Chains A and B, each alone.
Chain A
Amino acid sequence: MQKDVLLELKSDKILNNLKEGKRADGRKLDEYRKIKIEKDLFHNAEGSAKVFLGNTEVIAGVKFIPGAPYPDSPAEGTISVGTELIPLASPYFESGPPSMDSIELARVVDRGIRESKAVDFKKLCVKEGEVVLIGFVDIYAINYDGNLFDACSIAAISALNQAKIPKIEDGKVVKEEFSGKLKLERKPLLSTFAKIGNALVLDPDLAEETAMQARFSVATTEDNFVSAFQKGISGSLKKDDIDNAIDIAFKAAKEIRKMI
């Protein structure tokens, strides 16, 4: 993705400020920007949420579609996360097929949810071996100011958490009727860090993302497990960075979980 030249010029300042432990907006290194979650916004979506992370804004919607199960798990439905980095969210997003950034983002958000077994896929089974429900979580970037990973993760979990499961008859969705609500077994949340110089900062904004050498995301659950890691971009991390990130992530995600 193309970067903002003015932000690149700011990178040195961000780096120098962090040497004294200071961030441009006055946050602590392990502090999120202001988070706001709005739920159940759209009539046609089975579940939806809008998340503000500072100036970053994303919208997630859930649709359940009946489909055939995978041959190796005939009694289980599944979920699929997609992200759309549309040009309305940033002058640097382009229309066209999903970019590498968008694919990585979707897969990391998906991994955190899927691998923590947040959704009991057995509950999405309609008829074993024939019909199961596939939950599509589609997330649209509305305004991009850094850290889409965490914004998308919060939006996906919020939307899934209050999603209604449509009623299915003869393998087809009965419109406007629901068989119940999807209950999440866990609420895994991603926490993303930027390594800038020797500092590790939580929830980087766009200027900090422009200055970072490495990115690291960790998904944590309420029962003290980590369910996904993803190191991104070309810099490197040491084991201490990761230990540090895990500890901060557990604390930070706990606070966000209360809001969902």
Chain B
Amino acid sequence: MKKEEKKEYVNKKGLRLDGRKVDETRPIKITAGVLKNAKGSCYLEWGINKVLVSVQGPREVLPKHMANPLKAIVKFTYRMAAFSVPDRKNPRPGRRDIEISKVCGEALEKAILLEKYPNTQIEVWAQVLDSNAGSRVAVLTAASVALADAGIPMKDLVTAVAVGRADGKIIVDLNKEEEDAPDAVDMPIAMMTNSQEIVLLQMDGLFSKKEWEEAYEMSLKALEDVKKHQINALKQQFKEPIETKTTEKKEDNQVFSKSLSKNSPSDETKKEKHSSEKKVVKTEEKEIKSEVQ
């Protein structure tokens, strides 16, 4: 066996391998409304993770027997691009993809006012383009922004973060290197922070009860941070008057459009039409919009 140098996951100054503090998340950037064919959408970068989420519906349920006459159903699909991991991933969904799709969909169901749309389905497609630990919390965070962007009424945004342990220290938002620590514990948690209702909770690794409590407390602060990014993304999408918004949006999207090199000139007009159709969550934002119109 090769002898590996022991890594110092948290140094004496309290800094981690990538220079973060124990309770610091990686840089997060969220942009709402990036796909013109989707009812709602979101592009999110979280450290190296890059994910794209679209929302369609509520619309007719297929196959029809799946329909619920009392409420809408949520169909969440989590998929990793073949090039999103160090070794090429078989694009066919594996057991992991299916489990993540299931728990993420269930997490959103609690937040969405499903009773408003009986016999319909709301489809969420989460495509991971680049990954480095924490992709499920990234897609869930992005998905609730995309749902708000689609004008689907919710009790609260669903916000997610992973907390865990590396080398005996409880840390927030583990990257891949930390997730591979010999004693690593990974605990993704998603919450509606206003009511502190936990809608997703998973964990693997060995945790004592005290460590779970410490990790939970740490997640609360991180979730608040992540939620600020979600709210800001939605404010950007809805607050600005429409004329100025189209130009600004173009700038916002630059990182994304560069990578996919698709921002044809006709986008502007389409985007304008598209956004004016959208429902706005807050009444004050509605007022701004109606003034412009």
Contact = CB atoms under 8 A, between A and B. Distances in A.
A254 interface: no
Interface in A63-114: 75, 98, 100, 103-104, 106-107, 111, 114
Interface string B98-125: 1101110011011000000000000000
Interface residues of A, number: 34
Given A236-B110, A237-B197, A103 B205 contact: no
A230 interface: yes
A117 B206 contact: yes
Contact of A104 (B99, B195, B196, B216): B99
A21 interface: no
A12 to B, nearest CB: 15
Nearest to A235: B110
B224 to A, nearest CB: 16
Nearest to B195: A236
B103 A232 contact: yes
Given A116-B206, A225-B208, A226-B209, A237 B99 contact: no
B3 interface: no
Given A229-B187, A246-B209, A236 B204 contact: no
Contact of A236 (B187, B198, B208, B212): B198
Interface in A6-53: none
Contacts of A144: none
Contacts, number: 89
B216 A239 contact: yes
Contacts of B213: 243
A239 B196 contact: yes
Interface residues of B, number: 32
Contacts of A100: 98-99, 101-102
B141 to A, nearest CB: 17
A177 interface: no
A256 to B, nearest CB: 19
A227 interface: yes
Contacts of B203: 226, 228-229
Contacts of A226: 203, 206-209, 212
Interface in B142-198: 187, 192, 195-198
B206 A225 contact: yes
A10 B202 CA distance: 30
Contact of A225 (B103, B198, B207): B207
A106 B99 CA distance: 10
Given A75-B1, A100-B98, A231 B200 contact: yes
Q: Which of B98, B109, B208 has the most CB of A within 10 A?
A: B98
Nearest to B186: A115
A234 B106 contact: yes
Interface in B223-264: none
A236 B202 CA distance: 13
Contacts of A236: 110, 192, 195, 197-199
Contact of B201 (A225, A229, A234): A229
Contacts of B95: 98, 103, 106-107
B198 A103 contact: no
Nearest to A111: B204
Contacts of B110: 234-236
A216 to B, nearest CB: 7
Contacts of B1: 75
B96 interface: yes
Contact of A103 (B99, B107, B216): B99
Given A117-B206, A226-B212, A237-B201, A232 B106 contact: yes
A231 B209 contact: no
Contact of B196 (A106, A227, A235, A238): A238
A242 interface: yes
A220 to B, nearest CB: 10
A233 interface: yes
22 contacts: A100-B102, A103-B99, A104-B102, A226-B203, A226-B208, A227-B204, A227-B207, A228-B204, A230-B103, A232-B106, A234-B107, A234-B109, A235-B110, A236-B192, A236-B197, A236-B198, A237-B201, A238-B196, A239-B196, A242-B198, A243-B213, A246-B209
Interface of B: 1, 95-96, 98-99, 101-103, 106-107, 109-110, 187, 192, 195-209, 212-213, 216
